Amino acid sequence: MTVPGSVDLEQEIKSWLTERLSAHLSRPQSEINTEVPLVEYGLDSVAALSLFGDIEEKFVLYLEPAVAWEHPTVTAMAAFLAQEQAASSSGSAG
């Protein structure tokens, strides 16, 4: 079952992740393909930690480092974060 608004949330997160990745990698957003694994962009451990810090701050989620390997692209990470946000929101509603 799809959560209402989850596709919009996923797209919003994907755009936000692309912008943050662009900043951390010092490359234009237009050069970031959301289907390419982040490691192929040369995302080093320092930039990855900074990106995860941004994610934790923005979404109030603590992420294990393995998440980057389990969801290696912007698209996969956005889908995961949208799911986590939906679960977090529905869990706090009760």
Instruction: Write down the domain spans for the chain.
Output: 6-86
Q: How confident is the model at residue 63 (pLDDT cuts 50, 70, 90)?
A: confident
pLDDT in tens, 8-43: 999 999 999 999 999 988 999 999 999 999 989 888
d(CA 69, CA 6): 23
What is the value of pTM for the model shown?
0.83
Pick from 94, 84, 91: nearest CA to 9? 84
Both tokens of 82, joined, read 């949208």
d(CA 17, CA 9): 12
Class (C level, CATH) for 6-86: mainly alpha
d(CA 24, CA 43): 8
